[in-house]
Structure 1
Amino acid sequence: MPLPRFILNDQRVKNSHGFYLLNAGGRFDRFLANPVMLDNHDPDRLIGRWEDLAVEGDLLTAVPVFDEGTELGRERKGQVERGFLKGASIGLYIHAAEYRMNPATGENELYVTEWEQIESSTTALPSNAGALTLKIYDQGRQPVPEERLAAYLDSIVRLTTINEKMPTINQNGGGGAPAPASVSLTAAAQVALGLSGTPDSAAISAAVVELSARYEQEKAAREKLETEAAAAREQATREMIALAIREGRITADQQANYEKLAAADYETTKAALEALPTKASLSAQVKGAAGGSGIPAERKAWNLHAWMKEDMPGLRKLKTDDPEAYAEILKRV
């Protein structure tokens, strides 16, 4: 039985990555030279090829031809014939994108205006009924990680805006479409951009987009680490100063000053606090004149309530060191 045509793209529908893909901006020459069909964008799972790639109104469609010489190819073909597998997904490289007013929604939305088809895959998880999931590749034909995608698209939009403002150089000497301008770069610049030979403006633009996306990803990762480090340092400062207050090295009204000092120089502040003497517990003052335990003269009049309020640790020490004095205090409620 003939297999159904698959919808590879519906330019009216926003895809799962949040943009519209315009069919008119597609470049298909390299894809048509080797129209591979992958299983869910896995380069190690070739399951067939695509034929009769065509634009039908707003739709980009093609007919799948499965490789029945492989078990996976036969399996996927059977799933299509039985109506269980209906989704397709384009793998593409983006050359240009811009924000436009969408007349259907009245909102300013992202449109990919120039792109190249790398491959197309069958997939069980379409992002919507028309425009299916997409796999976006960078200049080196490597998939762009999901966490880098927003920065990658933003870089392309900014570079597209810059290119539109630059004068076009027509190297044909007359009519016809302008050819990409050849640009001279230093050897160091070519190495930094990962280019070789004599790159044209399009190749340089693509390399700059990739470099910018990597920079944005690394910047975001660095900012995250810096935020986490700052939070950890603030927590350590709070704990250090709280301990100093508990140990009697400083008083509670000095807390704000030491927090400012620690924010400026944590290690020096830590050393300064550790150098301060701890305040002896009142219980340490409970010593008898003859080597036994006793009660200081200024506390002779304390009743049980006063001890519990002023020096509970000292009261516990009396219980251990001077049970008789402790028993007398219990009587003075």
Structure 2
Amino acid sequence: MNKSYKFTVHDESVNTYGFRMLTDGANLTEFEKNPVILYNHNDWETPIGRADRIYKENGAIVAEIVFDTDDPKAAEIAGKVERGFLRMASVGAWPPEEATDDELMKLDGQTGPTITRWTLREISICPIGANHNALAMYDRITGKRIDLSDRNTVIRLTDNINNANINPKKENNMSVITQMLRLSDSASEQAIAEEVRKLIALRDQYQSEIAGLKTENKNLQVKLDTYEQKEREARKTQAVALVDAAVKDGRIDASGRDAWLKNLERDFENASVQLASITRRQTVATQVIPEGKSGAITLRDMTFQDILKADRLKELKQDKELYRQKFREAYGHEPA
């Protein structure tokens, strides 16, 4: 099986004739019926190969070419391709079906029209082409090559298209465009193109600014999320401290601890105020003896353990009978 060679046979750059042809507008169907590969567009000679596959890719037309190595001439060409002495392929096309002189479609250095619809006729291996998308065109009636080096020929190829198909449509649309751009109806295509370029530049500028703002907003959101997370953690720590303190001083029972933590998580401000408003439980040991009443009467109302906690044992021992009574109640026997 003969080796297949991949060639980029066309792209959308401006050729040396001053015009360019759009890849999307290429009709490959006619060529696929007879995918001949010629040498230097010499269609009066036998083909040197065929295109096993042809397709559009990234704005270009790519052909996978197989050479007829049983033919000495084709084998010679295949050898030069294999060894890197021939690297260029060129498309041969019928005259274009549609074209436009729209300035917005033109690239730098483009002096001719932009071909928007055309048909591929053949592909040739060639030593030097018009450029990296070398081109040949053929007369549909005679089948002979058209001399594209003649500027007048190129103009004639597209004049009928421009006059018949493009200008009426352009005239219908220009007034709408000039109104949208706030230009006079007599504004030139160059003036219109310049205004459109300004709009495109503004669009690009705004897109860049929007991208910057989006990045800034994302960074600020990360900082906000981090701050809020720290705030939540600090509030949680504070809530635990408040609830534990309330359990310790008797304002709430330990069984209600989790419920208070949930209340503080939902609404910290109100829940903390409610918790602070609960009266602390007063132990007997911390009660103040009313003025004018003896300590003995107060001690009589206290348990021995409460007296110990209140550090009033010395005061109790001053009343020996009461001391023995409280000790007996606490331990079940007389003090030693």
TM, length-normalised to structure 1 = 0.45
TM-score (norm 2): 0.45
Larger radius of gyration: 2
Identify, as 1 or 2, the structure richer in strand.
1
